[in-house]
Amino acid sequence: MSNNLIEVRNLVKHFEVSKSVFSRNKKIVKAVDGISFDIKAGETLGLVGQSGCGKTTTARSLCLLDPKTSGSVNFYNPDTQNMESIDNIDEDGMRIFRRNMQMIFQDPYESLNPRWTIKDIIKEPLDIHNIGSFNEREEAVMEILRTVGLTPPENYLNRYPHEISGGQRQRVSIARTLVMKPKFVICDEPTSMLDVSIRISIMDLMLNLAKELDVSYLYITHDLAVARYMCNRIAVMFNGKIVEIAETEELLQNPIHPYTKRLISSIPIPDPKYVRERYEINFDELDKIVKDNPNEQMVDVGNNHFVATHETKEYLIES
Amino acid sequence: MPDLLLEVKNLSMHYDTLDGNVDAVKDISFSVKSGESFGLVGESGCGKTSVAMTLLQLQPDNSVITEGSIKLDGKELIGLSENDLRKVRWDSISIVFQGAMNAWNPVIKIGEQIREAMREHYPENSKQENIEKIDELFKMVGLDGSISERFPHELSGGMKQRAVIALALSCDPKIIIADEPTTALDVVIQDQILNEIKKVQDLLGLSLIYISHDIAVIAEMTDKIAVMYAGSIVEMGPTKDIFENPVHSYTRALLDSTPSIRGEKRKLKSLDGEPPSLINKIDGCSFAPRCPDRETKCNPTEHMRLVEIAPDHFVDICSQGKQ
């Protein structure tokens, strides 16, 4: 048995939208259309792609914020030491699942309750899950504040979110998430709202905590440069599908799918001497190819590098 | 040698608030030649946008310009009457605001909104002339001419931003200020817009002031940059020089904290602390509390002030070491 923490198979999430209130013709938006991936314990998988490609929908379906349309998601249950499906989960199972899977959101200005003190915000999950005695909870809050670098914790306990800066707020979000000692955390662009000089300290904090607390991340971002810094592996999403997945350096050095190439070539390079060449693709055509091959599989091209089949046919003949 | 188009000298501006004065722009001088791209880079709250607004004399009512001059084509902008300013804005200098794509009026067609600006500045032009001009501008920024008959909600974010650039070009300005024109867009669209801005700039020989917090974008877009911190310029010079030989500790910290997808994966360094609040008068160097070279090089009592260390390369005095 591999040490997978989460296994996703053919995850599908469709939204029904009607053109007008009275229209009977429902249109289906295929936000996530059959994606599969595994995340190992202690690993960080990056999910990159343009806005609207289904990154956030994937995250929301994974942690059951939105019910998925079909597909299976198996999660490692540390209590039974088995992979368990998140479908038909009972109340106890749900509690275990929620404890082990947490989410950090993009906007630290909107994701913290403005009327609660930092202590209330961080303690809430402990209260809900009824973890520890009153004193133990207080102690846990102090400890996690120290862990995320908000020291001395006494200075922060009774403050409100508006009294601290953006970087500190994101630290509070991370503290609230990690106080549960989860095994798996979904991060939805947690640093995109932060300033450059502060961004790195949050990214470093998350990397260190991953090692210390043995946490796996699913790291959602549209910035490959950030993904390179954070992730062991990267999955590239296009229109609801994963088109390429590989270890970070492998993906950046040897991209195969044209969309991956386009994405890589559109990242500005902080070096004025370097002349970046754009890899142009026809998005309409690519969209059509992806839509016309709804059931295609990923092909292994070696080095733990997988690409959507429509792009590897030629490649495979060549080699 | 191309002549100076825009010359800013010793510009200082503060906002008058209930809590006290916020010193947003402190003694800033720079100049832009025609055809040149000038980058202003720094973190949020460092005064980048305040500088842009002051250049256009669009700063809010509670702002006070305490000293300095802004000369555009030899003409002083500070103190001009509102009527005279209206002639300068858009005709000589125009701006693409941050998030400008959301500033379109939702109930008026895109083309009509651009024509409105053109009518104001070229009352003698016929409607047909304006329509043709807009078609031409749209082509330049990679949009179809039919877009002018559409409403803003029918366009994607990238298309709206292209249309904003067309609007900024509509009165043939000599200089365009782009204030974080791509922050709300994703990477591929950002790449296309940057490409479009560069193409248009080359084609029309425009000067560009590009404002961003993104070092990588600045590296690609500009010939010359000024790094701002807490309302002051701490280092200024040709982009290549600054990237090759950053002198000020803050510039180095910014470069060290920018991840790249090229080259060896390197450990990035973060900068401790947060930018100072500009509401309190800062005695001496405003970067000193965060300065990584505090122990060795820094001279915290010295006020920020630029000295020329190489041709055209100016650095804040503090990096010259303890005196």
Partner residue facing A272 (CB), from B239, B262, B269: B239
CA of A270, closest CA in chain B: separation in Å?
4
What distance in Å separates the CA atoms of residue A273 and residue A225, rounded to the nearest whole number?
Answer: 18
Q: Name the residue of chain B whose CA is nearest to A53's CA.
A: B186
Q: Tell me which residue of B222, B237, B226, B206 sits closest to B95, measured CA to CA.
A: B206
CB contact under 8 A, B271 and A201: yes
- Output the pLDDT for position A19: 67
Q: Residue A199: its chain B contacts at CB < 8 A? A: 257, 270
What distance in Å separates the CA atoms of residue B122 and residue B145, rounded to the nearest whole number?
Answer: 21
- Output the pLDDT for position B301: 74
Q: Name the residue of chain A whose CA is nearest to B193's CA.
A: A266
Average pLDDT over residues A300-306: 88
> CB-side exposure of A68: number of CA atoms within 13 Å?
26
Q: Name the residue of chain A whose CA is nearest to B185's CA.
A: A51
Q: Which A residues in the span 270-289 are in contact with B, Cβ-Cβ below 8 Å?
A: 270-274, 276, 278
- Output the pLDDT for position A311: 62
Average pLDDT, chain A: 87
Strand partners, B94: B176
| Token pair for A108 | 């630290």
Average pLDDT, chain B: 88
Counting residues of chain B whose pLDDT is more than 70, the rounded percentage is 98
Average pLDDT over residues A118-144: 92
What does CATH list as the number for A4-282?
3.40.50.300
Return the amino acid letter for A139. Answer: E
CB contact under 8 A, B260 and A278: no
The pair phi, psi for residue B9, each rounded to 5°, is: -130, 125
- Output the pLDDT for position A318: 44
Q: Residue B254: its chain A contacts at CB < 8 A? A: 196-197
Which residues of chain B have a pLDDT value below 70? 1-2, 319-323
CB contact under 8 A, A197 and B270: yes
The 10s digit of each residue's pLDDT in A175-218 is 999 898 899 999 998 888 777 778 888 899 899 988 888 899 99
**Model confidence at A1: pLDDT above 70:** no
Return the amino acid letter for A187. Answer: C
Q: Residue A252: its chain B contacts at CB < 8 A? A: 261
* Domain boundary assignment for chain A: 4-282
Partner residue facing A197 (CB), from B190, B254, B260: B254
CB contact under 8 A, A197 and B194: no
- Output the pLDDT for position A220: 94
Whether the Cβ atoms of residue A75 and residue A83 lie closer than 8 Å to each other: yes
CA of A83, closest CA in chain B: separation in Å?
35
3-state SS class at A188: strand
Whether the Cβ atoms of residue B96 and residue B179 lie closer than 8 Å to each other: yes
Q: Residue B268: its chain A contacts at CB < 8 A? A: 200, 203-204, 229
Q: In what order do the strands lie in the sheet with B207-212?
A: B93-96, B175-179, B207-212, B37-41, B224-229, B232-238, B313-316, B306-310
The 10s digit of each residue's pLDDT in B56-78 is 998 888 999 999 999 998 899 99
pTM: 0.87
